[in-house]
Structure 1
Amino acid sequence: MLTVETSDIKGITSFTTYDGGELNECKLKDYNLIITKYGDFVPQYGNPGVRTKQLKVLSFHKNGEIKSISLEQQTEVSTSIGIFPAELVTFFEDGSINSLFPLNGQISGFWSEEEEGALAQKYDFSFPFGNFSAKIIGLRFYPDGKVRSLILWPTERITIDTPAGKIPVRTGFKLFEDDSIESVEPAVPVPVETPIGLINAYDANALGIDADKNSLSFGINGRLTSLATFDIIMARKSNGEKKVIFPKLKPGLMEEYERVPIKLLFGDDTVTIDDGMKVTNYRISESMFKITGGDYKEATTCGDCSKCKGCM
């Protein structure tokens, strides 16, 4: 157990509490040593450097168990898949490790992602679905210590075996507790056989900061459950109703417009198709589908209906 008596914590400079008065998080100015089954940890207390995050140093669950430790210096952490250095470690309420992050620098005008990336190391990994070497942002675990997800460094790409075949991956992957793949983020458009035909799985807008939610997902039995695509889907129901579904555009943050991927969710003889504007459900056995690729940039969700070429 990782409960630490708050009276034993030295040099608290600021803190917050839960509504009931329990310590929530704090910052420190003195040396403290926290001994755990994963290693001995010294919370951050020294003078902050150019890449040091000015955030909480220690945080606690409401039951008094440590929730996270921002470390004074990179420290080795023992896990089920080996020993990894970490600058930030988080824990579940029962004291088991939740996640670790080898680096925890503050990206700012004074410290760039490229500079942080230069500090990142490559680590060797061996899983039932593939062996690879890569820089990582972090690892997340189940309470029993098994890996829950692996978050890749933004520039990293790996290739692993999935229920849909061998796939190049960015961002990372999430696992079930039996080490089988729950989801991955394809690095390039990948043809995937689905209950409605061959579809290119890819989400250009996928966030690269966490691997717990990825666009290509599978069930515990390996069956495809969801994917994102920029393909065009023609769907016809048994009553003759027909619809052409294609990616729309929306105002972007970095560019004037960005494409919104179509998201498909598969069930038992059903598919739910979400184009970002409307969600439509189909019974697969009572419908026909045709999948094609194309240039989707003519579509728009800008609200100017006089120039719309396909919003349905």
Structure 2
Amino acid sequence: MQPIQTKYGDLIPQHTTDDLRKKEVLPVRYHENGTPKTVPLEMQTSIPTPVGNIPAELVTFHENGTLKRVFPLNGKLSGYWGESDEAALAEPTPVQTPAGMITAKVIAISFHENEAIRSLTLWPGEVVSLVTPVGPMKARIGISFDRNGMLRSLEPASPTSVTTPIGDIMAFNSDALGVNGDMNSLVFDARGAVARVTTTLSQLSVVRPNGESDLFKPLYRESYCSETEQEPVPMIVAIGKDTITIQTHCDLPTIRIPTADHVFLSESPLPRQNTIPLMGCGL
């Protein structure tokens, strides 16, 4: 099998299969300019990345030839090979990030075109600790960085109070899905201030210039796990320079409120909410 030449070394593409994890030979794909785009590997290979040597079964590249994503595992899920089987093969991987060394089982590591790390996607159940602009925090699912190395976003592992320009808000998204770690529910701007936060434990009062006030808080829906129970719908609050944007449900329109002449008061935790069920009935 002819190796694929890359700036990270010669890679041997997948050319055999097995009965469980790899049921078909995946093709090598190329960009229009001829550089490799997607390379499934014959065997797990150590890739020298900007954040350390990372074991990989699948790698993707930007059009300029730099790494885009590295996947330590690339098994094909089926009725005979499930997520738990694949996860059992995952090993903790040390990754040198701008937020410090993080060692965890990762589904993927992605990079910007300038080779700066873009994100980590963690296996379900993995929790890591890191320093953020609002203090030390534990994260699950994903962590992302901008191309200058600033922490861009993370998924809080548990309800965590974060300081924002409109008060302290309990950050947590019970509906967060581990598709990838590029975008998460707690987002920071280039200055390190909170730009967006998802919450199921805080409510926001807005006092208008005429003295009247509006109350925004997470709504409730029938639980995915039981028809007799209700669970909170995460509320998203985006904090801009001149506008606060609030969305209490994905099916409802967002509400934009100018910061000028308005007073914002946050309250948390909500007295009704004692526990936060995770999507998937706590699994």
Fold in common (TM above 0.5) = yes
**Partner AA of 1:267 in structure 2:** G
Stretch of structure 1 that moved more, 42-51 or 185-194 = 42-51
Q: 1:180 to 1:204 in 2, by over 3 A?
A: same
**Corresponding position of 1:166:** 136
- Which residue, out of 225, 239, 242, partners 2:213? 242
**Corresponding position of 1:103:** 73
Cα deviation digits, residues 105-154 of structure 1 (max 9, x gap) = 12222112222111111122333423332111111011222211111111
Preserved CA contact (<8 Å) 1:97 1:141 = yes
Q: 1:254 to 1:37 in 2, by over 3 A?
A: farther
Q: 1:252 to 1:98 in 2, by over 3 A?
A: farther
Residue 82 of structure 1: CA displacement?
Answer: 1.5
Residue 254 of structure 1: CA displacement?
Answer: 5.7
Matched, 1:81 2:51: yes
The structure having more radius of gyration, on CA atoms, is 1
Matched, 1:265 2:235: no
Highest RCO, 1 vs 2 (Cα 8 Å, sep ≥ 6): 2
Distance in structure 1 (CA, Å) of the matches to 2:101 and 2:163? 25
Distance in structure 1 (CA, Å) of the matches to 2:160 and 2:112? 29
- Which residue, out of 92, 113, 117, partners 2:62? 92
SS of the aligned residue for 1:117 comes to helix
Q: 1:118 to 1:248 in 2, by over 3 A?
A: same
Structure 2 gaps of 5+ residues are: 275-283
Matched, 1:137 2:112: no
Identity of aligned residues (%): 36
Q: What does residue range 190-229 of structure 1 map to in structure 2 within 5 Å? A: 190-229=160-199
Distance in structure 1 (CA, Å) of the matches to 2:23 and 2:34? 24
**Partner AA of 2:210 in structure 1:** N
Distance in structure 2 (CA, Å) of the matches to 1:83 and 1:254? 42
Q: 1:86 to 1:53 in 2, by over 3 A?
A: farther
CA RMSD of aligned residues (A): 2.1
Residue 237 of structure 1: CA displacement?
Answer: 1.2
Stretch of structure 1 that moved more, 147-156 or 45-54 = 45-54
**Corresponding position of 2:280:** none
Preserved CA contact (<8 Å) 2:121 2:142 = yes
Preserved CA contact (<8 Å) 2:134 2:163 = yes
Distance in structure 1 (CA, Å) of the matches to 2:186 and 2:44? 34
SS of the aligned residue for 1:143 comes to coil
Preserved CA contact (<8 Å) 1:39 1:76 = no
Residue 62 of structure 1: CA displacement?
Answer: 2.6
**Partner AA of 2:236 in structure 1:** K
Cα deviation digits, residues 256-287 of structure 1 (max 9, x gap) = 56532111111114211111223212223422
Residue 49 of structure 1: CA displacement?
Answer: 2.9
Q: TM-score, normalised by structure 2?
A: 0.87
Matched, 1:275 2:248: yes
**Partner AA of 1:261 in structure 2:** P
Distance in structure 1 (CA, Å) of the matches to 2:191 and 2:108? 27
Matched, 1:295 2:277: no
Residue 156 of structure 1: CA displacement?
Answer: 0.7
Distance in structure 2 (CA, Å) of the matches to 1:294 and 1:278? 26
Preserved CA contact (<8 Å) 1:251 1:258 = yes
**Partner AA of 2:266 in structure 1:** I
Preserved CA contact (<8 Å) 2:36 2:65 = yes
Q: 1:279 to 1:294 in 2, by over 3 A?
A: farther
Q: What does residue range 41-60 of structure 1 map to in structure 2 within 5 Å? A: 41-52=11-22, 54=24, 56-60=26-30
Q: TM-score, normalised by structure 1?
A: 0.79
Distance in structure 2 (CA, Å) of the matches to 1:92 and 1:192? 35
Cα deviation digits, residues 213-260 of structure 1 (max 9, x gap) = 111111111121111011222222112342221222346666656532
SS of the aligned residue for 1:151 comes to strand
Matched, 1:123 2:93: yes
Structure 1 gaps of 5+ residues are: 1-30, 298-312
Count of residue pairs the alignment pairs up: 267
